Structure 1
Amino acid sequence: MTARSIVVEQLVQAPPGPVWEAMTDIDSWEEVLTGVDRVQVLTPGGFGVGTRWRETRRMLGAEGTEEMAVTACEPPERYVVEADSHGTHYVSEFLLLTAGEGATTVRMTFSAALPDGPRGLLARLLGPIGARAARRAIARDLADMARAAEARHP
């Protein structure tokens, strides 16, 4: 498998606590994330390792639904979400870093482990297009989360 990574950062004018709350409040994501059409939480209880949900969004003109799972959670500093789709393993790591008085930098690292064979070859050939679309979607999601966190901490 071949791995590709994208790193996107967003400065949020709120301390880590409200940022963490916004970023882990899955029930609000349909309203907060402009790039997400639907979210269906699959596990009861609060956000933590084992939390799973289905997320539906439109990318590159097609609607797709993926099942996500939290695989690491260290409140209020870091969590990791993983998903598998069409032979590709996706990992999204979110780090919340203090950025001065009352501000937080959110750094998301998105990695995709592409399969070998014909499906992986197509993914590698279309890689630059998919990477640009993924970077735009991640930046939009982080900006949406920043607005939600800033609203929680005016």
Structure 2
Amino acid sequence: MSQVTVIKEINAPVELVFQTISDIRNFSKAVPDIVDVEFLTDQKTGVGTRFRETRVMYGKEATEELEVTELVENDRIRIMADSHGVVWDSLFSVKENGDATELTLVMDMRPHKLMAKIMTFVMKRSMRKALEKDMDAVKEYCEG
């Protein structure tokens, strides 16, 4: 298993930050690299929501199917995907920090194929940069 953690302090209320990360419609507005979202369920938020996200990664469009597997209002949301031989487990959490919000993203990458184990090791640094870019975009969106 490989893990990446990114923490951002955002000068905005917890509720706003949580609404931004927990509703893919808001998250896709905040993160410019997300170019399309297609819902695969009738529900648009909450546990069980499944969607197909297309984003620009490394100069090319990539599409992944994701599912919200855990949500505690104004606390945390877990979004998971099983793609390319890896379970991608992203846990976003928020907590009040004075007048600001501390947003933490912990992404566990659990490869279940040999080639995927090699790729997650090789990609860890670039994944960190991509996740930091997403978190910077959320910060800018919430503070703007």
TM normalised by structure 1 equals 0.84
Match of 1:10, SS state, is strand
Match of 2:104, SS state, is strand
Q: What is aligned with 1:132? A: 125
Q: What is aligned with 2:106? A: 109
Distance 1:12 1:62 in 2: 29
Q: Any conservation in 2 of the 1:58–1:64 contact (CA below 8 Å)?
A: yes
Larger Rg: 1
Distance 1:30 1:20 in 2: 14
Aligned residues: 144
Distance 1:71 1:145 in 2: 21
What's the C-alpha RMSD, in Å, of the aligned pairs?
1.8
Q: Which amino acid aligns with 2:131?
A: I
Match of 2:77, SS state, is strand
C-alpha displacement at 1:105, in angstroms?
Answer: 0.8
Q: Which amino acid aligns with 1:136?
A: K
Match of 2:47, SS state, is coil
Distance 1:111 1:18 in 2: 25
Distance 1:136 1:34 in 2: 15
Q: Which amino acid aligns with 1:50?
A: G
Distance 1:49 1:130 in 2: 29
Q: Which runs of 5+ in 1 are unaligned?
A: none
Task: Write out the 4+ residue segments of structure 1 that deviate beyond 6 Å after TM superposition.
Answer: none
TM normalised by structure 2 equals 0.89
C-alpha displacement at 1:40, in angstroms?
Answer: 1.4
* 1:30-45 pair list within 5 angstroms: 30-45=28-43
* 1:2-17 pair list within 5 angstroms: 3-17=1-15
Q: What is aligned with 2:136? A: 143
Q: Any conservation in 2 of the 1:35–1:140 contact (CA below 8 Å)?
A: no
Q: Which runs of 5+ in 2 are unaligned?
A: none
